[in-house]
Amino acid sequence: MGEKSFKNGKPRALSIGCCDMTVKCRFRWSWDHAILCSCCRPMGMVFAWLTFSPFNQPLFDPMELSCQSDNEGSWSIGIFYGDTPMSLQPIEQLNLRNNKSSAWPVANPVLTCASVTDASHPSIFVADPFLFIQGSTIYIFFETKNALTKQGDIGVAESLDGGVSWRYLGIVLDEEWHLSFPYVFSYKGQVYMMPEGSEKGDLRLYRALNFPLEWTLERILVKRPLVDAALVEYNGDFWIFASDFHRFGAQRNGELEAWYASTPLGPWKQHKGNPLHNGDPSSGARNGGRPFVYEGQLYRVGQDCADTYGHRIRIFRVETLTRSKYHEVEVSSGFQESKKGRNAWNGARHHHLDAQKLPSGGWIAVMDGDRVPSGDLYARYLTGTAAFVALLLIVLLFGIILGVVRCVFPLSKCLSTGKRSGMPPVWVQPQVTSTLHRALSRLNRGSSAIKGRVRPNSFAGATLMFLCFVMGVVAVCIGVRSFFGGNGAEEPYPVEGQYSQFTMVTMTYEDRLWNLKMYIRHYSRCASVREIVVVWNKGQPPNPDTDFDSAVPVHIRVEEKNSLNNRFKPDPHIKTRAVFELDDDILMTCDDLERAFKAWRSHPERIVGFYPRLNDGSPLKYRNERYARAKKGYNMILTGAAFIDSELAFPKYWSQEADQGRALVDELFNCEDILLNFIVANGTTARTVEYIHPAWAIDTSKLSSSAISRDTKVHYMKRTNCLRKFSELFKGLTLKKWEFSSRADAWDL
């Protein structure tokens, strides 16, 4: 076999499986294998070099498993307040602040998988929260899915400041079976917990030995696998609402039953009308939290599981509840669902609510939420697999067009071997052989027909190959994104475990309305954007309620004078300290905004933005970003895309000290951003600017004839004049230079 050669130097078909790929080769058979192996070896070495680190690998850290993708979702927990349980608002609407984390205001979620810090219990998600109020301390008990055991455990966190900040205390209950829905209540001076443990086949009651961390089994209440059991006292009896999906004929997520007793300790008896509901999963039959009494009326919280598990909560007012009768009607929950989709922590679903009345008379509630639907992980994997299968078919078609792929069914080579090979024959059932042979024969005839009609050097052939290439690129992008791109959300970044929000401010006029509509549609979906304020300098203002597709409130502030100074004017509509000033002609990703927001929260005294400049020399001269890159540093951040502290910078900008500077801005209709950099840097030796590199940014001003910087030469001359005037105004103040690549996360490269 090693001595066999090819006559006349004709091309030979190299068989791989049952597909022949015609290749030109001038070497003998034995040398072909050597060449193939020599090609594979360096490829393997490169793969190993890229894959395996030459450094010592750290020991396995279980916490690296926390917050990983899971097919059940990525649940987290938020807190809400209101005058009534039907008018609950998220914590960010109350403008509660935490200076430690620069959360001005604090925003939901307040507990996530990252909040669980036990190395032995890394969390995939947290859900099913229940409140317990003890004096001025508020506790949240919740389910946390253990990334190691893939089962639910019960954790607890506490707040000493009314819910503004939370401290994780630990795991309070960890059984050999899955636990969730930790319903906590007090009775006769004792604190009890009634978690769901339907996997064990019963409903158990635990009593606190050392609240809130130590618990002991008190008794088994019901020897049935009840799901999401919630207890309430009403009309002299104690009631448990729950679901039993093992009941004969029970519809999953569509069944509800009731049990009653004279005390929470039992004995418990079934309601005569059980099951109270048994039908459509969208009916809200399955419990979604704690029943509550408001103005003497009992309300039950249910789950709508129509499109996905735990899609949303529904509130039902119980009209009749006796030991033999039950009737409820749905009422409005008053809850406003987010329009931000996956960028919102509860954008896809929310399935649990616990609302309780505070001693002050107001109401507090906890709710869980998820940004993705149930089964999202498997759906992404299925999409990615389909994309790579499509890529394989596209490559096959591409090869057929070029004439280098020929699919055949060589029985003598694939199914049995000759005497030379020394290999035993492979037996295949005749019907399988015949079917496969016919299929490959048809494919071969089809490929011959394609090759006969479509020539690679013809226009049709070139067009088809180009389309194959484009479709291949699309398939690769879809496949890689599905497998490695996460859930598609541009999530916010916490600081000290807390989230916050900011207000976007842009300045425009009627000639740029098309820009503004695109701007609002895009940025209003960013996770941490609370409101968009539009400074309207000229022309007829739009209607914010009808002219924009926005996921957040839009406020139009109409100015009497067309001035660039207006963008830094104090505004009572701005409720957040963080303001992101962004020109209406710049588009960038929400993730870029979130990264810059995190950087600003770490140093709120700075101007943090995306466009660095280095203005130096004697005399001073304004230059572009390329100059700053060449000099490896910057001393100014343009406020056309930058975070600033509105409560610090705006009053300074409008102080008497800056009167001459504002007058020059009005005279030149330019330089308001340069003036703000001088104002913030004046009187301090600390760093006042920080650069964040955007993933990408599109400047749509190049498409408009109304941009003030369109004539670059004149624009730069004006700004050079401003630099020199402002330096004189601030008594020779020199802006300090700061180097790129000073951040550990490399966000400023």
**DSSP states of 468-493 as a string?**
HHHHHHHHHHHHHHHHHSTTS-----
- What region does 637 belong to: left with phi over 0, alpha with psi -120 to 50, or beta? beta
Could you give the angle at which helices 430-453 and 376-402 cross, rounded to 10 degrees?
A: 60
> Terminus-to-terminus CA distance in the chain, angstroms?
58
Q: Are 152 and 179 in contact (CB under 8 A)?
A: yes
Q: Are 368 and 126 in contact (CB under 8 A)?
A: yes
Which residues carry out catalysis? 673
Query: Is there a cis peptide before residue 275, judged by omega within 30 degrees of 0?
Result: yes
Nearest to 579 by CA among 497, 686, 500, 510: 500
- Tokens 């926390």 label which residue? 66
The CATH architecture one would assign to domain 501-729 is: Alpha-Beta Complex (3.90)
- Tokens 């048994």 label which residue? 278
Query: Is there a cis peptide before residue 267, judged by omega within 30 degrees of 0?
Result: yes
Tell me what pLDDT residue 521 has. 96
Facing residues of 5 across strands?
Answer: none
Tokens linked to 635: 């001393």
Q: What are phi and psi of 383, to 5 degrees?
A: -65, -45
What are the helix (H) ranges across 505-645? Answer: 513-523, 590-602, 625-631
Query: Does residue 313 sit in helix, strand or coil?
Result: strand
Residue range(s) in the chain whose domain bears CATH number 2.115.10.20: 73-372
Please give the distance of CA 594 from its chain centroid, rounded to a whole number.
11
Tell me what pLDDT residue 700 has. 74
For residue 100, with 0-12 CB atoms within 10 Å meaning exposed, 13-18 middle and 19 or more buried, which class applies? exposed
73-372: CATH topology is Tachylectin-2; Chain A (2.115.10)
Tell me what pLDDT residue 37 has. 44
Other beta carbons within 10 Å of 382: 12
Q: Are 677 and 649 in contact (CB under 8 A)?
A: no
Helix (H) or strand (E) holding 727: helix 712-729
Tell me what pLDDT residue 382 has. 94
Q: What's the CA gap between 127 and 146, in Å, rounded? A: 12
Distances (CA, A) of 179 to 143, 144, 183: 7, 9, 11
Tokens linked to 423: 């290999």
Could you give the angle at which helices 672-681 and 712-729 cross, rounded to 10 degrees?
A: 30
Q: What's the CA gap between 100 and 111, in Å, rounded? A: 17
Q: Are 289 and 352 in contact (CB under 8 A)?
A: yes
Tell me what pLDDT residue 438 has. 72
Nearest to 119 by CA among 59, 74, 31: 59
The radius of gyration of the chain from alpha carbons, rounded to an integer in Å, stands at 33
- What region does 349 belong to: left with phi over 0, alpha with psi -120 to 50, or beta? beta
What are the helix (H) ranges across 82-170? Answer: none
For residue 728, with 0-12 CB atoms within 10 Å meaning exposed, 13-18 middle and 19 or more buried, which class applies? exposed
Nearest to 572 by CA among 555, 551, 584, 587: 555
> Residues with Cβ < 8 Å from 548, sequence gap 6 or more?
516, 517, 520, 521, 524, 542, 554
Tell me what pLDDT residue 44 has. 53
Facing residues of 586 across strands?
Answer: 699
- Tokens 């729950």 label which residue? 242
For residue 699, with 0-12 CB atoms within 10 Å meaning exposed, 13-18 middle and 19 or more buried, which class applies? middle
Residues of the chain with pLDDT under 50: 1-40, 43, 47, 50-53, 55-60, 411-421, 423, 426-428
Other beta carbons within 10 Å of 138: 22
Tell me what pLDDT residue 78 has. 98
- Tokens 């502030």 label which residue? 557
Nearest to 414 by CA among 428, 435, 403, 396: 428
Tell me what pLDDT residue 69 has. 84
Tell me what pLDDT residue 24 has. 37
Residue range(s) in the chain whose domain bears CATH number 3.90.550.10: 501-729
Distances (CA, A) of 295 to 298, 326, 357: 9, 20, 11
Tokens linked to 559: 């100015």
Taking the model in full, what pTM does it have? 0.85
- Under DSSP, the state recorded for 87 is S
